[in-house]
Every structure is written in C-alpha cells, then in structure tokens.
Structure 1
Amino acid sequence: MAGPTTAERQQRTSGPPRPQRTPRVPRVRSRTLVLALALAVLLTAGGIWVFYGSQWLRLERVQTSGTRVLTAQEVLDAADAPIGTPLISVDTDAIEERLRSKLPRIDSVEAERSWPHEIGLKVTERKPVLLIEKGGKFVEVDAEGVRFATVERAPADVPRLELTPDRENGAASLRRFGTDRLLREAVRVAGDLPEAVADDTRKVRVRSYDSITVELSGGRTVVWGSGEKGRTKATTLTALMKATPKARHFDVSAPTAPASSGS
C-alpha cells in the first residue's frame, strides 16, 4: 500500500492554515483624517459666509468708462446695480441686458466685477454714419443701419440721408426692398467711400436700389448706382478724381466705364 504523498506530509507538518488578520489603522492616522475633514467643512462654511454673509465683499460702487454722448449718470441709472448685495451674487448679464434695452445708443457693454466692492461698466456707443431729418430733428443711423437715437442738433460731419424715390423706379424699389433695405444700402455706400471722399460727403441720396448718389461739398456729385461692387467703385473713384481734379460730376455706377464731367 502506497504511503502518504509529499503534499500530505507537508500539510500534517504545517497544520491548518492560520486566519489572516485585518490590519488596523493607527489611531493617529484616523484622528488626522477626522481633523482634516472638519477643517475642510469649516473652511467651506467660512468661505460661504465671507462671500455671501459678511459685509466685506458687498457691492459699494459702480464705475463707467467709454461713454461719449451718454453721461455716467444715465448709464448708472439704467444699469440699476443692486448696491449692498454680495458682489459674487450680482447678475452682470442682467445688468448688460438692461443697459442695451434702456439705452439704444449703447452698441456693446461689459460688466465686470472688481473685488472687493466694485463693478466696472465698459461701454461702447454706436456712432452715427448717416442722419435722417425728421420733424426738425435728426435720427442717427449707425454702420449697421440701426436707427438708435433722435437728437435736436445734427452732429458735425455726419452726412444726411435723403430717401427720395423717383417716379419710374423708386416706388418699385420701395415695394420690392422696403425702406429698411434701402437704408442699409445707403449705409453700405457710405462705408465704402474712400476716406477723403467720405470726409467731404454732405448727403447720400437714394432714389431707388440702383440709383444712389453722393453729394460732396462745392456742389460736386458722385453717381454710385447700387451698393454692389463698392470696393471696386471706391478704387475707380479715387483714380478718376486724380485724373480729372477739376471735374464736378463723377459716375462710377459702371466701374469698368467711369465718367466725369464739368469743370
């Protein structure tokens, strides 16, 4: 009869397997963990109180910058910032929206926190590129065709816009494009004029979509046509004025075949 195997002999010698003990966490390490958690809770609670409950970080002042026509007080009144409120909880987006809504002259505005007690309002106003005379007053129109303000006095060096539809094509243009579209075309032309011509422009007259004329000082005129190919027309006009400096009438409605006349 065969004797015990090697594995059986080893098992008898070593005896039954001993149960493994779970390592104990040292008491010092446990206390450190508890203290760290307690400290984190205290710091969080303290931070919340500092930002929201204390008097240290509350809104006390609102500063404005960038205004040209608007006064600082007009901006402050429209902003209606909640003085005394915790600075962190002030809704800067709502302030910006109120300013754009109440003051159409504002093109863009940024409301930024300045710790510990201030909000800064950086305002960019719209600039008029054309004026529409209406009832003895003047409606300012910006580079996007937005009519943003009505003023008693015309700003210096801003051309007048005259929308005077002719009998043949003007009425049809109004029906097809509408006043707002023709207004935008006039703004487009004003923006494409060469700088020297733009500085000398007194009036932009719109008779139809395809008939826009620019009136300069001294009774000189530029027949521009439609607002299309504006950059090409501007380049052509500059060359035409250099070639015929004494001319009084220029036509760049067809920029490949420009013409000038009068002296």
Structure 2
Amino acid sequence: MAESLSLFTGSEVVIVTGASSGIGAATVQRLAQKGVRKFCVTGRNEQGLCKTIDTVIREATNKPEFVTVIGDLTHTQTIEKIVEDTIKTFGKIDTLINNAGWSYGIASIFEETIEAFQKTFDLNVKAVVMLTKLCLPYLRESKGNVINISSTGSVQNYNNLSFYCMSKAALDMFTKCLATEEGKNGIRVNSVNPGFVDTGIHERCGMPRSAVDELVERCKNSHAVGRGGAPEEVANIIAFIASKEASFVTGNITMVDGGLNCYNPL
C-alpha cells in the first residue's frame, strides 16, 4: 500500500540492478511507496522483473514508469544499454543502486577454481565499476547518489565463500574511494551491507535448501536480534539513503544485519 509520507519529489530517476527478486525487488517496491515514479530495472530473469513491475503498479496510486533491461551485467553491451535506455527515456539519472551480486562458487580456496574467482569479481566488482563510470556524468548533473549493496562478508569471513567476501571488501573500498573523489561534484556514495537474508540467492549459488535452513536456524545465535533479516528491512535503509533526508551521508558502510557483525554469543 502506498504511503502518504514521501521522501522523493516523484521526478527522480532510479536504476536498480538485480531487481527481479529479493532485496532488489523489495527496493523498487519501497522506493515507489516513498514517491519514486521513474525506474530502470535490470536483471537476467525477465519473468522476475515483470513480477516486480506488476507488484509495484498494482500497489501504486500514481503509476510509475519503467525501463526494463534484460541481460547479464558481465556483458559490456548490457551495461551500455542500461545507461542508453535510461537517458533516452527519462533524460537523466538521479540514483544508481548496484544491487546485483553473486557467488560463483561455494568451496574452500584450495578446492575452488580461478574461473569462479574471475566470475565473482566480474559481476560483484568490475560490472559495478563499469556501470557507475558510465552513470557518473549524469549523476554529476543531477547531484545524485550511488548505493552499492555489499555484505557483512566484506568485514568478516564466511566459510567457503572467500571469493565472495573478497569481492564485497573490494566493493566497500570502491564506495569509500568514489565518495571521496565525487563529493566535490555533489555525488553521494554509500554501501549497504546486509546480514543473512533468505532471498533464494544461496540456493541459486548452489547451496542445497537443507543447508540454507541450517543457516536460518543458526541466525538465532549468530545475530544479536536472534534472527535473519527480510528484504524489506534492507530496502527501508536503501530508500532512506537514496533520499534527500540522507543529504549529509556519504562514504558510509552501513550494516543492516541484526547485529551479526558485532555479536558474540559467548
């Protein structure tokens, strides 16, 4: 249901990658509830993107406009099309939300392949840098902002997910460097780092459901609040950081993790 309190004017243009499910889909829905009316949504799953759009349109009082780009962000042509189609349709870019991410392997460093390392960094780091660089001229014009969806894995290691954790650590440093460089141009850059959120990504990365269920159970002891998070809880923070309400927030690594990064049950 749309809310009366709006954090946005309605004229903002927001790009959300990985918007077909999970945190990306929840972010689009939350931003629409808060007043955003112009979106470019991207992902590899066309059916999932259609579901995200249908949900937003069904709930919205003022129907948002959408540009949809289906494709793999590790392909340069997909990244170029995102920017080209957004500018062609809306004429500007106010916020870039780099949400798409993946782990291409769940194994020890000894067992894992260099190919898995390359693929993980290609999507989680290289694609983010490329898309952000293409958006920067337009973000400078709009005095916009970039939000990178990282992970608590950037600051603590997860067993058999070394490459993923390394890529998220690199993403956090990219956030800090870009915030320092672009602050003078009016651009804010922040990371949002979720704890465990059961979005289906673990299974899509190759983890059996039984193992995911074990993670859900372990959250009772690993998270200070005694549970994992929901996509909507992360989306709430993303929406705030994207808004003018957070005009003095940049270079931040924001943990949205129920206390996972600091909790010691012992």
**TM (normalized to structure 1)?**
0.20
Greater helix content:
2
Greater C-alpha radius of gyration: 1
Between 1 and 2, higher relative CO (CA 8 Å, sep ≥ 6) is seen in 2
